[in-house]
């Protein structure tokens, strides 16, 4: 399901309320133009690197931007994205995914540094309850719909 999120042009991506994931477009990456420049941002352990690697393996021009570590609010713009994807994650999920020596205050600081990207993203996806494959499938379906235009 894609729904308006209330932050600029962003769509919140979610599979909540559906009985299954969207048809996996991973077998049809040509449905998304390879010339589309995709930048992925998010807090540490949100899945930005994993998603970027999957998108690249599908032949897409995808890049992770370490915006969460930069005090330059719009550093993500330096990558000149056609599409900006924001992956989000909670502290509880971060602790399940990896051992970290930092806590909620550090995560809050990262999210503050990500605020500009969050306000300007095309797609917003909380990854807490999703596997890497589910994140990839939702993003690919949404990229296809985004590229296909309003008729989809």
User: Where exactly are the structural domains of the chain?
Assistant: 2-16+30-148
> How many Cβ atoms are within 10 Å of 146's Cβ, its own excluded?
17
* Residue 83 pLDDT greater than 60, yes or no: yes
Helices (H), 1-152: 48-57, 91-97, 104-113, 115-120, 132-148
Please enumerate in sequence order all residues whose Cβ is within 8 A of that of 148, keeping only pairs 6 or more positions apart, or say none.
Answer: none
Residues 99-125 have pLDDT tens digits of: 888 889 999 999 999 999 999 999 999
**Banded model confidence at residue 22, pLDDT cuts 50, 70, 90:** very low
Calculate the alpha carbon distances from 66 to 14, 70, 131, 144, 149 in Å: 24, 7, 21, 25, 29
* CA dihedral angle for residue 24, residue 33, residue 11, residue 27, rounded to 10 degrees: 0
- CATH 3.40.50.300 correct for 2-16+30-148: yes
pTM: 0.79
Query: What is the chain's Cα-based Rg?
Result: 15
Q: Which region among 14-23, 28-37, 98-107, 132-141 has the lowest average model confidence (pLDDT)?
A: 14-23
**So what's the pLDDT on residue 12?**
55
In the three-class reduction of DSSP (H, G, I as helix; E, B as strand; rest coil), residue 117 is classed as: helix
Residues 43-78 have pLDDT tens digits of: 999 999 999 999 999 999 999 998 776 767 788 888
* Residue 13 pLDDT greater than 80, yes or no: no
């Amino acid at each position: 399901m894609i729904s308006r999120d209330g932050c600029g042009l962003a769509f919140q991506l979610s599979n909540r309320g559906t009985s299954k994931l969207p048809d996996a477009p991973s077998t049809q990456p040509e449905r998304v133009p390879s010339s589309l420049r995709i930048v992925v941002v998010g807090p540490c352990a949100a899945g930005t690197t994993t998603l970027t690697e999957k998108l690249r393996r599908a032949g897409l021009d995808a890049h992770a931007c370490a915006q969460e570590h930069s005090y330059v609010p719009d550093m993500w713009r330096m990558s000149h994205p056609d599409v900006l994807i924001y992956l989000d994650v909670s502290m509880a999920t971060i602790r399940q995914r990896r051992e970290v020596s930092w806590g909620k205050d550090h995560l809050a600081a990262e999210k503050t540094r990500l605020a500009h990207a969050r306000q300007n993203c095309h797609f917003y996806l909380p990854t807490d309850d999703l596997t890497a494959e589910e994140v990839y499938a939702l993003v690919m379906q949404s990229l296809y719909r985004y590229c296909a235009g309003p008729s989809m």
